[in-house]
A and B are shown apart, each in its own frame.
Chain A
Amino acid sequence: MIDIELTINNQDYQLNIHPGERLYYVLRKLGYRSVKFGDEHGLSGADTILLDGKPVNAYLMLAAQADGHDIETIEMMGEHPKQGWKKGKGLHILQQEFVKTGAIQCGYCTPAQILASKELLSREQNPTEEQVRDTLSGVLCRCTGYLKPVEAVLRAAARLRGEEVPPIEDPIQVPPEWMGKDIHDSIPPTRTIEVDGSTLTAERVITELKVSNSPDTWRQVGKPKEKVDAVKLVQGKPAFAADFERRDMLYAKVLFSPHAHARIKSINTAKALEIPGVRCVLTHKDLPRVPYSTAGQSDPIPGPLDCYSLDNKVRFVGDRVAFVAAESEEIAQMAVEAIDVEYEILDAILDTRESMQPGAPIIHDQDDYVNFADSDPTKNLAAEIRIDIGDIEEGFKQADEIFEAEYEVPKVQQAHIEPHAVVTYWDEDDRLVIRTSTQVPFHVRRMIAPVLDLPVKRIRVIKPRVGGAFGGKQEMLIEDVAAHLTIVTGQPVQYVYTREEEFIASRSRHPMRIKLKTGVKKDGTMTANAMYALSDTGANGAHALTVTGNTTKAMALYVGDGKFRESPNIRFYADVVYTNTPPSGAYRGYGVPQGYWPVERHMEFIAHEMGLDPLEFRLKNSLHAGEIHPFSVAWSEGREPFPEMIQTNGLVECVNKGKEAIDWDKKRADKGWNDVPGKPHLKRGLGVALVMQGTAIPYLDMGGASIKLNDDGSFNLLVGATDLGTGSDTVLAQMAAEILGVNLDDIIVYSSDTDFTPFDKGAYASSTTYISGAAVVDAANKVADKIRERAVMVLESRLEGTKFKASEIELADCCAIAPDGHAVSMADVALHSLHHANQEQIMAVGSYVSPVSPPPFAAQFAEVTVDIETGQVVVDHLVMAVDGGIIINPVTASGQIEGGMTQALGYAVSEEMVYDEKGRAREKDFRDYHIFEAHEMPILETIFIETYEPSHPFGAKAVAEIPMDGVAPAVGNAVFNACGANVLTNPVTPEKIWKELRGN
């Protein structure tokens, strides 16, 4: 042990530490929990601190290296501006701008971004955008696309120079002549506004406003409100799962399999147990054998039960072999390495084309495998889908030309910066508390109960702040590890994945091989479209059926024209097979991006081959408002389907506005535009993809909310919905505030805790604004009715002899207002109901399940530059025009689009997970798994085309997943336009282009 002195945030510490202790752990132990773990190599930058004013990574640095140095964390930068009687210093200008611009999504990397930016602004008063982006290159953000953080830093710099910056909150002014106009009457005039309110950055966020029912009267909905959780996140408050501390906490580690397929012959844990500080080692012999699925879905889970907490067989490199709990992570890791395992190595399947071959090794040969639907473990088949709409063969007969091709999409990772993290402990009532970073707290509670042999009522799942998830946490993935260890030791246990463990042992997008066959008449009418997908579920079948079934959404966009529009001919067949690779699962888009790569690449190629305009060809065959969603009559996640009519479709406007933004017509018409002057090896290209998603799962997924009035006229809004950084807490609060006639800060949002908040299926399937939002509106309307009744009581007691009707009371400006102008404040309503007369707690519970899944639509454009000698492709510009219905909050919604496009950009050009001949992962860190950094981003533009979806109380659809769908095919099409390279496998890497150009 050695003695060191640290000065942290101007406070001196004298510490006695181990020489090898990382600064990260020392800071966390001292309570500086704004310093986060993102990875082991300083590439995520979540662990950024300022050391003598310079941004460095605390996880990479020994505490001893910092001896004698000044350390600054975000805890010293600013504080909540209102702290009771105490005059607080308020937030730092950088923090203020991060809040105002919407630069905070999940907030996990926010302290790091702000600290790095602080250093920049301390030496450069007037930084360029390039300097800001270079500074932020050290902090990965998976949520934002960096646009708003860059804008925040530039605005802060301007304010620090004493300049004024335009307000973000400029209200959207609706021309008086639009008022009262129904959206269905005619296409109303449009206008463009800049939401970012600043010309400081080259990129812009543009909102196209079309008039909806009565937006002129809305005061909360449709407005770029600051996020309700921004102030806590910008201070780096300990809001995340791993920030939670308990006395006697133990730390878990897992021994992972080094083999792709093996049977465990023996395990010797004696040496591990001898290590001082080790409290528990568990193997498959110690735990009850309970088959389960990790997929966080509603009951009954639509997939096979083929997982076990620990098994006597391992099925992929990274599968679990043993659990350890110890007094520190380091000791636990030593114990893991001391476990002696003897394996019988089995033949492995690493290629889906081999899974169903006769004689292939059987990956799930256990007797207690529980089938679902057509799963058949003897064939390594996790799920099978056979959907026929119309008469596919007749459709092909009527075609003038048939186009067939085979495409491939890769395995990719969600790569949320906060890893999976969980803390479990027994509470004073002997109930097991699971504090976990999850999208699905209620599903976790229900699903883990049988695994632990505990009734649901003895389990409480708390979802704290989540640092990004993107589907990766729609899983009951590591909660059982900590829970088993808590059950055995009786102590609290924390388990946090390392980044390497994220890559080898968590979930990822299903890779697929997809064959597509399309029949087309000479005039461009599609007559038939058939897809076969061979989907790789990896070693377990979680989400196998539903992800691949969702791939149909890409097929649903194009139904054909004329009589084929009335009766489309579509076939979708799929086999979802097991391999000895890490299990696939849910990832933003949930099967749809896999479908759009082949469909949109195929559409482009057909248009090119037939000499058709690529956009006219698409729009001619695309689904229209007023038509039946073709798959709604044939498929509903394995349950009975119900026909759904498309109510709103802004696709044509999306195309028109997107074309305008990227200057499509001019560039595509200019034959010289593809050439780069003076650089004959460079070619420019433009590409497009049209896409649609779904919004929620009809007749299944339910959201719930409760609203309670407090003494001062504020409200507690409790939701089971989970804000993963999406801004859903904010938009739910906006909807509640709109109905209750109060300000956003009068709504106190809490999410989620299975003991306190109403049930919600969780955050997935683009459903929170739509489903959970409708539940909030339901609760708010019930509360509003009670407030009106109470207001009548108050007004009539004040104005003796005067009668009021509750139905005529308007809630606005934090008051209940009668038609004659008499008003009672919300606080007076609360005091009257709680204390003065006929006392009652005004509160209500709302819930909602939807009969429909109204799809958002979008046009995704991409501009690229291709080096035709090396194949290098650089994406220069992405424009996405989205019809997501009414946008509840343009700042949070545009953040979703920007972040989604950025993830999808990685899917387009750089992200993939590759395995060697022994099933070992190539990608284990952020060096090899490259996600886009701030300084290499293309220009991003977001355009909202607002339609009013009648099935939602505020006309909303969804925006969360659709930005994942179009970027990759649009980039592929742009490459094709640039140089003729028709790459059928994404990501579009330099070598693939090079091979195409050389005819290989």
Chain B
Amino acid sequence: MITEYHRPDSIEELLSLVSRKSPRTIVLGGGLYINEIIKEPIAVADLQKLGMTAIMSKGNILQLGAAVTLQAMLDPDLIPAALKKAIKHQETYNRRQVATLAGSLVAANGRSAVGGVFLALDAELVFSKAKAKIEKVRLGDFLPVREDKLAGRVITEISIPAIVGVSYQYVARSPADLPIVGAAVAQWPSGRTRVVLIGYGDQPVMVLDGPEADGAVEAAKDAYSDADDQWASAAYRSDTAGILVKRCLEEIAENG
């Protein structure tokens, strides 16, 4: 239950709110998830006055404001096509208007296409903390401990590499259904390859981060060898994960 609403004018004010012990104060991006997950009395701090909606390219890095909406990420040419595909797959038109990037990553579960692609891209989250301190955390390090990491700090920016090949493939019951199995693969010009699986568990799973793609398919199969739930058997997920990873790599190769 939300007992307080705040709309801070500055990051400092925002930080002072989220640093309070009581009431627990949660950052409100678009608001898609907050009412679903919180039962106890909380305060919310709305980001809408703080901007953080820029999409910028700096060298080989794409910097994305924490409050940029998923819809806003569909227009710029800077955004990789695979990421746009994941955004459109994950959220409908209405929800994309308010879903913020940071909120989508904080709430990413195992079936999150957006979370999976960002994880493959080895996204870096920039946190602001009290006393103007900045902390940078990789998405892969953040997701398993997201509750703790958010205490007393706020995500202000997300950065991803600009010059990498990236692909997102999935299997679902229908084109717009959530993935039963999905794969996101990012490949750097150096050959570095990151492979992420989607469709099972509490968060997307990174199964390979290596200097090259060798072993990616087998790693994917192994990673989902126990991925059994009501939606699919582990045998199916494992086999399909390997196929999708292979296709991702082929697509990246085709696109140069």
Contact = CB atoms under 8 A, between A and B. Distances in A.
> How big is chain A's contact interface, by range?
35 or more
A22 B2 CA distance: 10
Contacts of B95: 42-43, 57, 60, 138
Interface string B82-98: 00000010001111111
Contacts of A871: 171, 236, 240
Nearest to B4: A19
Contact of A910 (B43, B97, B177): B177
B46 interface: yes
Interface in A203-261: none
Contacts of B240: 869-871, 990, 994
Interface string A916-940: 1000001000011010110110000
A551 B18 CA distance: 60
Interface string A47-87: 01000001111001110110100000000000000000000
Contacts of A914: 230
B10 interface: no
Interface string A864-895: 00010111101000000000000000000000
A45 interface: yes
A40 B37 CA distance: 12
B86 to A, nearest CB: 15
Contacts, number: 129
Contact of A870 (B7, B36, B178, B244): B244
Interface stretch (B27-35, B119-127, B131-139, B186-194): B27-35
Contact of B178 (A134, A927, A994): A927
Contacts of B243: 869-870
Interface string B151-187: 0000000000000000000011111111011000000
B239 interface: yes
A990 B173 contact: yes
Interface string B1-36: 111110100000000000000000000101110011
B151 to A, nearest CB: 22
A248 B15 CA distance: 43
Given A43-B92, A64-B46, A116-B93, A994 B239 contact: yes
B97 A930 contact: no
B36 A41 contact: yes
A439 interface: no
Nearest to B243: A869
A55 B97 contact: yes
A511 to B, nearest CB: 16
A116 B97 CA distance: 11
A40 B181 CA distance: 26
A55 B32 contact: no
A62 B32 contact: no
B112 to A, nearest CB: 11
Contacts of B5: 2, 19-20, 62, 64-65
A61 B98 contact: yes
A871 B236 CA distance: 10
Interface string B71-105: 00000000000000000100011111110000000
Contact of B46 (A65, A137, A909): A65
Given A55-B93, A55-B94, A138-B92, A991 B236 contact: yes
A60 B31 contact: yes
Interface in A890-908: 906
A989 interface: yes
A870 B98 contact: no
A19 B95 CA distance: 22
B224 to A, nearest CB: 13
A61 B31 contact: yes
Contact of B230 (A19, A60, A139, A916): A916
Given A40-B36, A914-B230, A134 B93 contact: yes
B174 A20 contact: no
Nearest to B246: A869
B31 A45 contact: no
A990 B98 CA distance: 32
Contacts of A995: 236
B216 interface: no
Contacts of A64: 5, 7, 46
Contacts of A45: 92, 94
A65 B2 CA distance: 13
A872 B247 CA distance: 14
Most buried by B among A870, A909, A932: A870
Contacts of B56: none
A43 B172 CA distance: 18
A872 B92 contact: no
Given A40-B36, A60-B31, A909-B174, A20 B46 contact: no
Given A19-B3, A60-B98, A870-B240, A134 B174 contact: no
Contacts of B94: 42, 45, 48, 55-57, 116, 138-139
A996 to B, nearest CB: 12
A135 interface: yes
Contacts of B31: 60-62, 65
A991 B180 contact: yes
A545 B249 CA distance: 55
A766 to B, nearest CB: 27
B232 interface: yes
Nearest to B46: A65
Contacts of B88: 134
A368 B28 CA distance: 54
Contacts of B178: 927-928, 930
A42 B93 contact: no
Nearest to A926: B92
B44 interface: yes
Q: Which of A930, A991, A994 gathers the greatest number of chain B CB atoms within 10 Å?
A: A991
Interface string A639-682: 00000000000000000000000000000000000000000000
A56 B177 contact: no
Given A60-B35, A62-B44, A872 B172 contact: yes
Contacts of B239: 994
A963 to B, nearest CB: 18
B171 A872 contact: yes
Contacts of B98: 56-57, 60-61
A56 B97 contact: yes
Nearest to A131: B93
B171 A20 contact: no
A57 B95 CA distance: 7
A589 interface: no
Contact of B173 (A138, A869, A987): A987
B171 A870 contact: yes
B7 A932 contact: no
B135 to A, nearest CB: 28
Contact of A990 (B1, B171, B175, B176): B171
A844 B252 CA distance: 74
B244 A933 contact: no
Given A64-B5, A116-B93, A930 B171 contact: no
A735 interface: no
Contacts of B4: 19
A872 B243 CA distance: 12
Given A870-B171, A932-B174, A19 B2 contact: yes
A931 to B, nearest CB: 9
A627 B167 CA distance: 59
Contacts of A57: 94-95, 98
A136 interface: yes
18 contacts: A19-B3, A22-B35, A43-B95, A48-B94, A55-B97, A62-B2, A65-B48, A134-B93, A137-B93, A870-B171, A871-B171, A871-B236, A872-B171, A922-B230, A933-B176, A935-B176, A991-B180, A995-B236
3 smallest CB-CB distances across A and B, nearest first, come from: A138-B94, A20-B2, A910-B173
Given A62-B44, A922-B230, 12 more contacts: A19-B4, A55-B94, A55-B97, A57-B95, A62-B5, A65-B46, A65-B48, A137-B92, A928-B178, A930-B173, A933-B92, A991-B232
